Homo-oligomer: A and B are copies of this chain.
Amino acid sequence: MSLKLNLKPEYKSAADFFRNHDNLLLLVHEKPDGDALGSVLGAAHLLQSLGKTVTLVNDDPIPDKFRFLPMADRFLLPEEVEGTFANVIAFDCGDRKRLGRSQGLIAADANLLNVDHHVTNDHFGTENIVDLEAAATCQIVFKIAQELRIELDLDTATCLYTGLVTDTGGFRYSNTTEEVLLIAAHLLTAGVSPYQIVDRVMETLTWPQVQLIRTVLDTLDRDESGMISWVTITRDMLERAGGCDEDVEGLVNYPRNVEGVEVGISFRESVPGKVKVSFRSKYVVDVGAIALEFGGGGHARAAGCTVDGDVDTVKDRVLARVREVVTAVDTKPEATQ
């Protein structure tokens, strides 16, 4: 079944940028995730099929779980590249600063195409395709490929599927639209194996990660209403598990997913005297607003902040405030998401 999408005019401009430039530098934000890598590598394949030469650069090594992506081995550190580039495309990056040291490779008068879906994007490119309706930057790259009338091969489809599946939490978040699933269906016809991709990028746990889950679940607690639940992650726990910073991500989902809970929180001692607080809410509470009060930010359902103090003090302060908010909204009808 062929897929016909409605493409806004900026997709034509982006496709022209792909067509009309060569010797391209392709960049994504530091500490790249599945959508950053999926979109830049998907685009790299598209550009190669147009006969273009591409250079892939990132400040950080590619995480193990994304190394299976075709061409992931082509990434260079900025220090490994000489000179500057006149033609650059940045993917999944809200502002120029998040390109890190790689910014130094962009010529002063470069043609810079900025391809992104974040609402915070500051349109830092000389050309910008910032589609806020897209669930993933991979969705934008897919639509550029449609505009280019390129039939996707398995390698390209694998990259794009990876970004779609990671940025929608496995087609679970509320950004999962009809178009997302239609594109995913179309990518399957190119031979993508959803099982293998999800297994590698979303389900695999390292041994330290499992050890950390087990230690952290020992700290799981909830308030008397059952609507607030939290876990605590100390530096000692992380060290004993042999884990790294990334292993902490996602742990906040355990308290969040407990039946009856509206707000799930993780308290994490990042350095002595500083506690990183992550919030998740289910239906009603705007945790972005709470995080903002503590000097952080985020969305209504997912937010975070860093608070000065030892773990117990920060926990008391934050829980007191969350309790106030939960009590206030408790009587309102359940919002839909």
Min Cβ gap A313→B in Å is: 26
The answer to whether A171 and B170 touch across the interface, beta carbons within 8 angstroms, is yes
What is the size category of the interface that chain A forms with chain B? 35 or more
Min Cβ gap A315→B in Å is: 19
How many copies of the polypeptide does the oligomer hold?
A: 2
Min Cβ gap A115→B in Å is: 24
Identity of the chain B residue whose Cβ is nearest the Cβ of A283 in the assembled complex: B196
Min Cβ gap A201→B in Å is: 11
The answer to whether B217 and A1 touch across the interface, beta carbons within 8 angstroms, is no
In the bound complex, residues from chain B placing their C-beta under 8 Å from that of A21 are none
A55 in contact (CB, < 8 A): no
Q: Mark A271-312, 1 if CB is under 8 A from B, else 0.
A: 000000000001000000000000000000000000000000
CA distance A174 to B195 in the complex (A): 5
Min Cβ gap A278→B in Å is: 17
The answer to whether B178 and A181 touch across the interface, beta carbons within 8 angstroms, is no
A327 in contact (CB, < 8 A): no
Interface residues of A (CB under 8 A from B): 1, 4, 170-174, 176-182, 184-186, 188-189, 193-196, 198-199, 202-207, 210, 213-214, 217-218, 220, 222, 253-254, 257-259, 282, 336-337
The answer to whether A204 and B171 touch across the interface, beta carbons within 8 angstroms, is no
The answer to whether A195 and B173 touch across the interface, beta carbons within 8 angstroms, is yes
The answer to whether B258 and A336 touch across the interface, beta carbons within 8 angstroms, is no
The one of B194, B196, B198, B214 in contact with A214, judged by C-beta atoms closer than 8 angstroms, is: B214
The answer to whether B220 and A210 touch across the interface, beta carbons within 8 angstroms, is yes
The answer to whether B174 and A204 touch across the interface, beta carbons within 8 angstroms, is no
CA distance A337 to B177 in the complex (A): 27
A sample of 18 cross-chain residue pairs with beta-carbon separation below 8 angstroms, ordered by A number, consists of A1-B178, A171-B184, A172-B195, A172-B198, A173-B194, A173-B195, A178-B185, A178-B186, A178-B188, A179-B185, A181-B182, A181-B184, A204-B259, A206-B259, A210-B220, A213-B213, A213-B217, A214-B217
In the bound complex, residues from chain B placing their C-beta under 8 Å from that of A184 are 171, 181
In the bound complex, residues from chain B placing their C-beta under 8 Å from that of A202 are 172
